[in-house]
Amino acid sequence: MEIKEYLDARKLLKEFTYDITPMDKGYSDKTLHINLSGNAITIKNVPQEMKEKFIGGKGYGLKYLWDATTPETKWNDPENEIIIAGGPVCGITQYSGTGKSLVVTISPQTDSVMDSNVGGFFGPFLKVCGFDALELQGKAQNEVIIVLDSRDGGKIRIEEAPKEPIDSHALSELLTEMYSKDEADKMKVAVVSAGTAADHSLIGMLNFSFYDKKKQRVRLKQAGRGGTGTVFRDKKIKAVVAIIPKFGGDINNVVDMKAIRERGANFNKEMKELDDSQCEMRTKGTAHLVEIMNDYDLLPTHNYKFGSHPDADNIHSEKWKALFMQGTPDGCWMGCNMSCAKGVNNYLVRTGPYKGESVIVDGPEYENAGGLGSNCGIFNTDYIIEANFYCDTYGICTITWATLMAFLMECYENGILNEERTGGLKLNFGNADSAMELLHQLARGEGFGKIAGQGVRKLKKYFAEKGWGDPQFMQDIAMENKGLEYSEYVSKESLAQQGGFALTNKGPQHDEAWLIFMDMVNNQIPTFEDKAEALHYFPMFRTWFGLVGLCKLPWNDVEPANNAESDEPAKVPEHVDNYVTIYKAVTGRDFSKERLIEDSERVYNYQRMFNLRRGYGVRKWDAQPYRAAGPVTNEEYESRAERYDNQLKEIVGFDPEGKSTDEKRIALREYRERQYQSLIDAVYLRRGWDENGVPEMEFLKKIGMDLPELVDLRTKYDKGEWKLK
């Protein structure tokens, strides 16, 4: 179809003009609210208190979501919102990893608040359009596209758009073409979209586009976790587009550009000198991790049963390096020298509706290789690329899909599923064809694919209700916590990482804390108190990236040459100092590394209280599936028998000599489950929470979060008046 035909079919529902407020020290103090139920468009002023307490990004998302919803709001109620917000640092280009925005919503998977950190151009472009945040509320009657156009003053249009495709790669390319006059203009268009699988599942995600002028391709970054794309499609939004007139080097109108440039230049020098000998992010992206995880027995294999596999060489990072187009910049935001957004260019699609098309596939990243690949027993690069492409364009989270597929495969191998129950699909580990077909079924909203799209938590319940398997076994092997599927690391031998996954606010995603090397490999945090300290510091530190609009990767995926000699190498102190300097230089605010943690702590605890408001946020929901902590089956135990026998003898005080595998496995389980409870106690204490995991009133006061809504909630909870789920 010609572009004109798409445009001719459009119907303008609302046009709104406004004066663009330019950023000043990282903020405009204006946010945009769009309610699709009545096509109402409003610009709000950000109160000073909100700015001080919530900083930006995820903080703004949480605050707006709290105000917009009630404890009873369901994910598909019109009042649920999708909030997209950068943060004060988002949009600078002189330091790597500075274009991130945060997506916040009530999740269809967890029924609580979800946040997802995403690259691409939209976050910074929203700021060029004059807004610190965008709230999308209500539901459109028919399919709409929302356009924020700042080329000639500020204009916002809500248009019915019946003809445009839904799948992300096709829609993002079309809209980028539609809103640009020439090749150079394509850099000024940013598209947020989902895909057809988001229509039929709870695991939908959002794609944020960025134009790669060297490859002349529209590329995609994902706000993957927790079903953000499902909420987007439920509101009947096909896309949100931001168009800007030009991009200057200082959209934030910062206080001290010289300081930012200096830190940026130092960092770029480090990247140039050290990346090839450290993580090789510029040539392999995060896929460099595959063999490291395999070597340390951390690469999830066969639904996290094992941590390594002889065939892992087939998906080794050198294989990815050879497939990734090399020698062109791969930053998902301008000026990112880490350039980790690798992609397979000119990939010829082999299956499904786009068979025969030549596309660019963004990734695979480590999580895709470890999840779609080894965790499902499929050690095949072609399959991983194909599944990665379809997850992206269909708008579903690759991590979720991978962990879910691995769960289904283990269920299949244990007779919980069979061909009759899957509609003819043989879902044994390693079956790439069936796995691919299930994904296409989901996008079509058909068959067992549609059931699979409900996510692991609902699947295990469904299988149990059908009487298909032992509920306890399914509970043990279903790798979800709080309703969100685990990301792709084996945490069995790292108690701290078990907490790093299950003691998170949104569910087990590694963006809060990744402590496996500190804990398991380097033994730097041996006691419960040490682990609790790490499970305080790192989640708070990493939360801050999502408040200000930063990418976490440049923090520690390259480290200064002398980092190991610093006081606390795991914190990468020189890079922390870079962030403190940059934040001060953008905002002019008095700041320090201590204040950084304090800023995060306020928002982190607000999110914990938000979970409580939703009926969660207590100890019960911090439980982990036993597969995350130890061997569920005798097969698993025996695969690492020497390790486990030694632990029983030397740590647990249980003599394994002459004991059956069952006896040993049970003894180990009792020990590990006790350890996890002790870890929870230590972490709650360190975080200022009571023994049920609720922030203490005194603590909320101490950190300046004794806001009326939190005091009211905590008081009702204390009186037993708060309904928990």
Kindly state the tokens that stand for 667: 């003894």
Of 34, 102, 340, 361, the one binding ligand SF4 by CB under 6 A: 340
Q: Which is nearer to ligand SF4, 329 or 469 (CB)?
A: 329
Q: Which is nearer to ligand SF4, 203 or 336 (CB)?
A: 336
Give the Cα separation of 380 and 364 in Å (integer): 12
Give the Cα separation of 56 and 124 in Å (integer): 13
Q: How far is the CB of 656 from ligand SF4 (least distance, A)?
A: 45
Q: Which of residues 62-101 bind ligand SF4 (CB under 6 A)?
A: 96-97
Q: Which is nearer to ligand SF4, 285 or 373 (CB)?
A: 285
Q: Does 123 bind ligand SF4 (CB under 6 A)?
A: no
Q: How far is the CB of 612 from ligand SF4 (least distance, A)?
A: 32
Kindly state the tokens that stand for 560: 């200064």
Q: Which residue in 383, 411, 386, 388 sits closest to 401, CA to CA? A: 388
Of 109, 339, 422, 504, the one binding ligand SF4 by CB under 6 A: 339
Name, in order, each residue with C-beta under 8 angstroms of 379's C-beta and a sequence gap of 6 or more. Answer: 309, 311, 312, 314, 315, 373
Q: What is the DSSP string of 601-615?
A: HHHHHHHHHHHHHTT
Residue 623: Cβ within 10 Å count: 16
Output the CA angle 536-539-540, nearest 5 degrees: 75
Q: Which is nearer to ligand SF4, 340 or 436 (CB)?
A: 340
Q: How far is the CB of 32 from ligand SF4 (least distance, A)?
A: 24
Q: How far is the CB of 555 from ligand SF4 (least distance, A)?
A: 10
Of the candidate spans 226-234, 330-338, 516-524, 707-715, the one that interacts with ligand SF4 by CB under 6 A turns out to be 330-338
Give the Cα separation of 298 and 292 in Å (integer): 8
Q: How far is the CB of 80 from ligand SF4 (least distance, A)?
A: 28
Give the Cα separation of 193 and 189 in Å (integer): 13
Residue type for position 27: Y
Q: Does 338 bind ligand SF4 (CB under 6 A)?
A: yes
Q: Which is nearer to ligand SF4, 117 or 491 (CB)?
A: 117
Q: Are 187 and 168 in contact (CB under 8 A)?
A: no
Give the Cα separation of 376 and 374 in Å (integer): 5
Q: Which is nearer to ligand SF4, 333 or 626 (CB)?
A: 333
Of the candidate spans 84-92, 150-158, 337-345, 389-397, the one that interacts with ligand SF4 by CB under 6 A turns out to be 337-345
Give the Cα separation of 442 and 458 in Å (integer): 16
Q: Which is nearer to ligand SF4, 417 or 547 (CB)?
A: 547
Q: Which is nearer to ligand SF4, 92 or 242 (CB)?
A: 92
Give the Cα separation of 694 and 344 in Å (integer): 46
Of 50, 102, 287, 341, the one binding ligand SF4 by CB under 6 A: 341
Provide, for the chain, the percentages of residues in helix, strand and coil under a 3-state DSSP scheme, each rounded to the nearest 5: 45, 15, 40
Q: Which is nearer to ligand SF4, 149 or 330 (CB)?
A: 330
Q: How far is the CB of 288 from ligand SF4 (least distance, A)?
A: 12
Q: Does 102 bind ligand SF4 (CB under 6 A)?
A: no
Q: How far is the CB of 89 from ligand SF4 (least distance, A)?
A: 12
Pairing of strands 144-149, 237-243: parallel
Distance of CA 321 to the CA centre of its chain: 24
Q: How far is the CB of 386 from ligand SF4 (least distance, A)?
A: 22
Q: Does 331 bind ligand SF4 (CB under 6 A)?
A: yes
Q: Which residue in 425, 278, 280, 443 sits closest to 352, CA to CA? A: 443
Of 332, 443, 477, 515, the one binding ligand SF4 by CB under 6 A: 332
Q: How far is the CB of 550 from ligand SF4 (least distance, A)?
A: 8
Q: How far is the CB of 98 from ligand SF4 (least distance, A)?
A: 7
Of the candidate spans 5-13, 137-145, 299-307, 328-336, the one that interacts with ligand SF4 by CB under 6 A turns out to be 328-336
CA distances in angstroms from 11 to 40, 163, 177, 189, 530, listed in the order given: 16, 11, 19, 21, 60
Q: Which is nearer to ligand SF4, 97 or 625 (CB)?
A: 97
Of the candidate spans 226-234, 237-245, 334-342, 633-641, the one that interacts with ligand SF4 by CB under 6 A turns out to be 334-342
Q: Which is nearer to ligand SF4, 553 or 683 (CB)?
A: 553
Kindly state the tokens that stand for 185: 């203009």
Q: Which is nearer to ligand SF4, 366 or 401 (CB)?
A: 366
Q: Which is nearer to ligand SF4, 341 or 612 (CB)?
A: 341
Q: Are 206 and 230 in contact (CB under 8 A)?
A: no
Q: How far is the CB of 96 from ligand SF4 (least distance, A)?
A: 6
Q: How far is the CB of 337 from ligand SF4 (least distance, A)?
A: 8
Q: Which is nearer to ligand SF4, 99 or 195 (CB)?
A: 99
- Render the burial of 267-305: b for 16+ CB within 10 Å, e for the rest: bbebbeeebeebbbbbbbbbbbbbbebbebbbbbbbbbb
Q: How far is the CB of 118 from ligand SF4 (least distance, A)?
A: 9
CA distances in angstroms from 364 to 277, 315, 320, 390, listed in the order given: 21, 10, 8, 12
Q: How far is the CB of 553 from ligand SF4 (least distance, A)?
A: 4
Q: Does 208 bind ligand SF4 (CB under 6 A)?
A: no
Q: Which of residues 525-554 bind ligand SF4 (CB under 6 A)?
A: 551, 553-554
**Signed CA dihedral, 399, 405, 409, 411: sign only:** positive
Give the Cα separation of 115 and 61 in Å (integer): 8
Q: How far is the CB of 187 from ligand SF4 (least distance, A)?
A: 16
Q: Which is nearer to ligand SF4, 166 or 341 (CB)?
A: 341
Give the Cα separation of 497 and 535 in Å (integer): 9
Q: Does 223 bind ligand SF4 (CB under 6 A)?
A: no
Residue 449: Cβ within 10 Å count: 22
Q: Does 336 bind ligand SF4 (CB under 6 A)?
A: yes
Of the candidate spans 39-47, 329-337, 387-395, 578-586, the one that interacts with ligand SF4 by CB under 6 A turns out to be 329-337
Q: How far is the CB of 539 from ligand SF4 (least distance, A)?
A: 19
Q: Which of residues 691-710 bind ligand SF4 (CB under 6 A)?
A: none
Q: Are 456 and 485 in contact (CB under 8 A)?
A: yes
Q: Does 439 bind ligand SF4 (CB under 6 A)?
A: no
Q: Which is nearer to ligand SF4, 408 or 553 (CB)?
A: 553
Residue 8: Cβ within 10 Å count: 9
Residue 717 falls in which region: left (phi positive, over 0), alpha (psi -120 to 50) or beta: alpha
Q: How far is the CB of 614 from ligand SF4 (least distance, A)?
A: 30
| Contact string 277-316 vs ligand SF4 (x = CB under 6 A) | ----------------------------------------
Of 91, 119, 195, 371, the one binding ligand SF4 by CB under 6 A: 119
Q: Which residue in 174, 302, 160 sits closest to 236, CA to CA? A: 160
Q: Does 379 bind ligand SF4 (CB under 6 A)?
A: no
Give the Cα separation of 18 and 5 in Å (integer): 29
Q: Which residue in 636, 647, 615 sits closest to 713, CA to CA? A: 615
Mutual orientation of helices 573-587 and 257-274 as an angle, nearest 10°?
150
Give the Cα separation of 370 and 376 in Å (integer): 9
Q: How far is the CB of 345 from ligand SF4 (least distance, A)?
A: 16
Residues that contact ligand SF4, how many (by CB under 6 A): 14
Kindly state the tokens that stand for 485: 């599927």
Q: Which of residues 161-200 bind ligand SF4 (CB under 6 A)?
A: none
Q: Are 99 and 124 in contact (CB under 8 A)?
A: yes
Q: Does 333 bind ligand SF4 (CB under 6 A)?
A: yes
Q: Which residues bind ligand SF4 (CB under 6 A)?
A: 96-97, 119, 331-333, 336, 338-341, 551, 553-554
